[in-house]
Chains A and B, each alone.
Chain A
Amino acid sequence: MKTKYKIDRKIEIKSSTANLSLVRDFVKKAAKDSGFNDETIGKIILAVDEACTNVIKHAYHYSNDGDIKIRAVFDKSKFKVIITDHGEPFNAKEIPEPNLQEYHRLKKVGGLGMFLMRKLMDEINYSTGNKTFNKVTLVKYLK
């Protein structure tokens, strides 16, 4: 396939948590080939794992037969991972950043993944296309 990007790879998985390790391996290789160091690769892997876990949980409600597409693109020092699903629309950007003290006190477990994604990546963008798909784009710049 012709692409204007230096790296442009795709993987498609079923919405099972059993496939998270496949996603991590896919992202690890793409980030490594883009030139990131091990520490940053670790951050990208975790952010993508959290994003896919959110899709499995919120868009597909742990049903195993949904589709999740993951595309990794690298060009001009910008590494993007785009995760698309056709599950139930969920508006991730409405989830507020948690106050961590309150979080521990209330034993609130959900939302931590979103918090980590924001901490680990440089940019996160969400879009929902006419309520037919959810798309989250995670960006990390190679410094």
Chain B
Amino acid sequence: MAEFNVNKHEVGSVNVLDLKGYLDAHTAPELEREFNKLIDDRKYKVVVNFKDLNYISSAGLGVFMAYVETMRENKGDIKFSNLKQDVYNIFDLLGFPMLYEFYEDESEAIKNFNEQNKD
């Protein structure tokens, strides 16, 4: 069975999800649970760090599509950071860069949230 886990930490008002392993149709429900918890806690500013994620299929990508609108409706967003090139290529094939922000590093994504707060 594929290994996958999500670790969560907070930096100020931003919630960072660190993904590790393989995100496929089997493991995507685990990520959904994390997003449901964030929404229950009214935490809508999310950075997803892909540093340790080796693999993603459309089931994983679908999770972000399912939750991004709720986050944006509540003055938050889902921003992505630290993607390996081949993982980014899949997001690119499905048109994500038109609609989501991607950052080289987690700290840049967090900084962007904080700058938006000043407006």
Q: Which chain A residues have a beta carbon within 8 Å of chain B's beta carbons?
A: 16-18, 20-21, 24, 39, 42, 45-46, 49-50, 53, 56-57, 100-101, 103-104, 107, 109, 112-113, 115-116, 119-120
Give the distance in Å from the alpha carbon of A39 to the alpha carbon of B85 in the complex. 10
Closest to A16 in B: B26
Contact A20 B26 (CB under 8 A): yes
Whether A112 touches B61, Cβ cut-off 8 Å, given contacts A39-B86, A42-B86, is: yes
Contact A56 B86 (CB under 8 A): no
Give the distance in Å from the alpha carbon of A103 to the alpha carbon of B57 in the complex. 17
Q: Specify which chain A residues have a CB less than 8 angstroms from the CB of B25 in the assembled complex.
A: 17, 20, 49, 53, 56-57
Q: Specify which chain B residues have a CB less than 8 angstroms from the CB of A56 in the assembled complex.
A: 25
Contact B95 A49 (CB under 8 A): no
Give the distance in Å from the alpha carbon of A49 to the alpha carbon of B23 in the complex. 11
Give the distance in Å from the alpha carbon of A56 to the alpha carbon of B59 in the complex. 13
Task: Name the interface size band of chain B.
Answer: 20 to 34
Mask for B35-71, Cβ within 8 A of A = 1, else 0? 0000000000000000000010111011001100100
Q: Specify which chain B residues have a CB less than 8 angstroms from the CB of A113 in the assembled complex.
A: 57-59
Q: Specify which chain B residues have a CB less than 8 angstroms from the CB of A112 in the assembled complex.
A: 58, 61-62, 94
Contact A116 B66 (CB under 8 A): no
- A67: min CB distance to chain B, Å: 18
Selected A-B contacts with CB under 8 Å, 8 pairs: A18-B1, A46-B57, A49-B24, A56-B25, A103-B65, A112-B62, A116-B58, A116-B93
Q: Specify which chain B residues have a CB less than 8 angstroms from the CB of A100 in the assembled complex.
A: 94-95, 98
User: B2: CB under 8 A from chain A?
Assistant: yes
Mask for B1-37, Cβ within 8 A of A = 1, else 0? 1100000000000000000001011100000000000
Give the distance in Å from the alpha carbon of A21 to the alpha carbon of B93 in the complex. 22
Closest to A110 in B: B62
Most buried by A among B2, B22, B58, B95: B58
Give the distance in Å from the alpha carbon of A113 to the alpha carbon of B2 in the complex. 19
Q: Specify which chain B residues have a CB less than 8 angstroms from the CB of A20 in the assembled complex.
A: 2, 24-26
Contact B57 A50 (CB under 8 A): yes
- Choose one: A21, A57, A116, A120; the contact of B24 (CB below 8 Å): A21
Most buried by B among A42, A49, A57: A49
- Choose one: B22, B26, B55, B95; the contact of A104 (CB below 8 Å): B95
- B44: min CB distance to chain A, Å: 17
Contact B66 A21 (CB under 8 A): no
